[in-house]
Amino acid sequence: MSKLPDVLKRREAGILTEWLRELKQSAGLRGLPPNLEETCRAFLVQLAQASRNGNLTDIGKPEWNEMRHLLEELSVSRARQGDTPSETAGFVFSLKQPLFAAIRDEAKNIEEMAGETWMASRLLDSLGLYTTEVHQKGREDIIQRQQAEMMELSTPVVRLWEGILALPLIGTLDSERTQTVMESLLEKIVETGAAIAIIDITGVPTVDTLVAQHLLKTVAAARLMGADCIISGIRPQIAQTIVHLGVGLGDVITKASMADAFSLALKRSGYSLIRHQPENA
Amino acid sequence: MERIPILKMGEFLLVTIQVDMHDRLALALQDDLTQRIVDTSARGVLIDISALDVVDSFIGRTLGNIAAMSRILDAETVVVGMRPAVAITLVELGLPLHGVRTALDVEKGMGLLRKAVAGRRPGDGYRAQ
């Protein structure tokens, strides 16, 4: 049975003072975070409460729930203030010195001291690492959300004219995005009854064999639905890469600019453009 | 055994697939349709697959074959009403059905067929595409 809860209970005030001094010493340029003392006190209270249940090795157990909750809040608020994960973990680790000192004072013999210190050290390590884990998880959530948002943002299908759709592609085409792009284009073709779709790749940074293959797939799928595709927005460098790589775009109609593609699409749909007044009239 | 009905509309044949295609049905359609084209000397075939929501590689290939056979028998073929999911599946299966005319719906398909047939000189016969 560990004596840690007893030590914490008896020496709480001393540990807290020592710990705060430790934290103040190691505080960086930003200075100490607000309500540091309350946080430290809450942490010690939770530590004493949770360790009273006897389990000092696995912080995943339900008796550590409140402690984990406290650390999650701490990690989130610290991250918001711009602290690095190691600074947050350092907050927990800095408790080691005062806690070990208290254990040393309370221990009856050297074996007991070594055992208790080892236990406390392991416990604080896992608690400190937990804050890092939470920090990381928060980051991952943000990345995932941004990815999903980008996916939504980057696949608009625009109706340019009766029976003419435009699909401005932005960003690199991977298999997953091609799937989304293809689906939204085909859905829109059904919805609007369009006969011509212009795929504009001005915003696609590079076209390699894979991207070309994805483009051709989209074109083939649209053709199966009865719509013709025009690929537009091919920049000079892209044209060069396509030829150098030996990527065949097949018999797909390609145009340098969206304007050219649109005028071709209008012509094919039987429209003609007439300017009624001279430009400088 | 169930069969897919083939309707005659003037010089065109209209095939509407309303049931789930299975392999034998597809082969039966291939037999029936080629027979009907010869019997009626149809100039065009319109296959409506708007009710078809599942295709496999066999059905895809059979559709392509039917179109190629009709062309040899001097009838233009238009496949209409393909669903987005079906189109994606066919492309992923590597069956983009080159050489098959497609249209969004029956009306547009009919227009395409009329134009294609009108553009041909009578007795022109089969041309390699």
Distance from CA of A145 to the nearest CA of B (A): 27
pLDDT reported for residue B127: 45
Percent of chain A whose pLDDT exceeds 70: 95
Mean pLDDT, range A234-254, rounded to an integer: 83
Pairing of strands B101-103, A196-203: unpaired
Task: HSE, CB side, 13 Å, CA atoms: give it for residue B10.
Answer: 7
Whether chain B has a CB inside 8 Å of the CB on A195: the answer is yes
Contact B84 A223 (CB under 8 A): no
Residue A174 is predicted with a pLDDT of 80
| A111-119: average pLDDT | 87
Question: Between A101 and B129, where is the model more confident?
Answer: A101
Share of chain A above pLDDT 90, in %: 18
Chain A residues within 8 A of B108 when measuring between CB atoms: 193, 195, 226
Residue ranges for chain B with pLDDT beneath 50:
124-129
pLDDT at A164 over 90: yes
Query: Which chain A residues are Cβ-neighbours of B90 within 8 angstroms?
Result: 221, 224
Can you tell me the mean pLDDT for A101-118?
Answer: 86
One-letter amino acid of A71: L
B94 close contact with A: CB closer than 8 A: no
Give mean pLDDT, residues A85-97.
86
Helix and strand numbers (H, E) in chain B are 4, 5
Token readout for A88 is 């947050």
Q: Cβ of A225 under 8 Å from any chain B Cβ? A: yes
Confidence of residue A150 (pLDDT cuts 50, 70, 90): confident
Give the per-residue pLDDT at A146.
Answer: 87
Hey, is the C-beta of B37 within 8 angstroms of any chain A C-beta?
A: no
CB-count exposure of residue A108 (10 Å: 0-12, 13-18, 19+) = exposed
What is the C-alpha separation between B90 and B112, in angstroms, rounded?
22
User: Average pLDDT in the A87-107 region?
Assistant: 86
pLDDT score recorded for residue B129: 41
**How far apart, in whole angstroms, are the C-alpha atoms of residue B92 and residue B50?**
19
CB within 8 Å: B104 and A187: no
Work out how many CB contacts closer than 8 A connect A with B.
56
Tell me if A221 and B104 make a contact (CB, 8 A cut-off): no
**Nearest Cβ partner of B103 from A183, A222, A226?**
A226
What is the band of A54 on the pLDDT scale with cuts at 50, 70, 90? Answer: low
Q: State the pLDDT at residue A76.
A: 83
Sign of CA dihedral A100, A105, A106, A109: positive
Among A188, A225, A228, A251, which would you mutate to test the B interface (most chain B Cβ atoms within 10 Å of its Cβ)? A225
**Across all residues in chain A, what is the average pLDDT?**
85
Q: Could you give the domains of chain A? A: 4-149 (1.10.490.10), 158-268 (3.30.750.24)
- Whether the per-residue pLDDT at A13 is higher than 50: the answer is yes
What residues of A are in contact with residue B82 (Cβ under 8 Å)? 224-226
Domains of chain B (ranges, CATH numbers): 6-118 (3.30.750.24)
Note the pLDDT of residue B122. Answer: 54
- Per the CB < 8 Å rule, is A221 touching B103? no
Gap between the Cα atoms of B127 and A154, Å rounded:
43
Q: What are the residues whose beta carbons fall under 8 Å from the beta carbon of A260, sequence distance 6 or more?
A: A232
- The residue ranges of DSSP E strands in chain B, in sequence order, are 6-9, 12-16, 44-48, 76-80, 101-103
B82 touches chain A (CB under 8 A): yes
Q: Which of A47, A131, A134 is nearest to A86 (CA)?
A: A131
Cα separation of A217 and A186, whole Å? 12
Position A28 pLDDT exceeds 70: no
At A144, list the tokens. Answer: 């995932």
Q: Please report which confidence band the pLDDT of residue A25 belongs to, taking 50, 70 and 90 as the band edges.
A: confident
Give the ipTM: 0.73
Of B102, B108, B109, the CB nearest to A224: B102
